[in-house]
Amino acid sequence: MKIKNITAGLLTMLILIVFSGCSNEKSESKTVNIGFFPNITHSQALIGKQNKSFEKSFGKDVKVNWHQFNAGSSEIEAFLSGSIDIGYIGPSPAINGYTASSGDVQIISGAADAGSILVSRKDVNIKSLKQLANKRIAVPEFGNTQDLSLRNILKKYGLKDKTKGGNVEIVQSDNSAIKSLMVTEQIDAALVPEPWGSILEKEVGAKVVLDYNEVWKEGNYPVTVVLVRKEFLEDHPELVEKFLKTHVQLTQYIQNNTADAEDLVNKQIYSLTQKSFPKSVMDSSFSRIRITNDPEKDIVNQMVDLSIYAGFLQKKPDTKNLVNLKPLNKVLKEEGLKQIE
Output the average pLDDT for the chain.
90
Question: Which domains, and CATH codes, for the chain?
Answer: 28-113+222-334 (3.40.190.10), 116-219 (3.40.190.10)
Share of the chain above pLDDT 70, in %: 91
Buried b (16+ CB within 10 A) or exposed e, 249-288: bbbebbeeebeebbebbbebbeebeeeebeeebbebbbeb
**Alpha carbon distance 251, 293 (integer Å):** 7
What is the per-residue pLDDT for 70? 87
pLDDT-derived band at 310, boundaries 50, 70, 90: confident
Reported as a single tens digit per residue, the pLDDT across 218-275 is 999 999 999 999 999 999 999 999 999 999 999 999 999 999 999 999 999 999 999 9
**Alpha carbon distance 139, 170 (integer Å):** 7
Reported as a single tens digit per residue, the pLDDT across 69-127 is 988 889 999 999 999 999 999 999 999 999 999 999 999 999 999 999 999 999 999 99
What is the per-residue pLDDT for 20? 41
Paired sense of beta strands 116-120 and 207-210, if any: antiparallel
| CB-CB contact of 137 with 168 (8 Å) | yes
Q: pTM, whole model, 2 decimals?
A: 0.87
Angle, alpha carbons 17-19-24 (nearest 5°): 90
Angle, alpha carbons 99-294-292 (nearest 5°): 125
What is the per-residue pLDDT for 176? 86
Q: Which ranges in the chain belong to alpha helices (H)?
A: 2-27, 43-51, 53-58, 72-81, 91-100, 145-156, 175-183, 196-203, 212-215, 230-235, 237-256, 258-273, 279-287, 297-310, 326-334
CB under 8 Å to 187, separation ≥6 — which residues? 121, 136, 137, 138, 171, 173, 178, 181
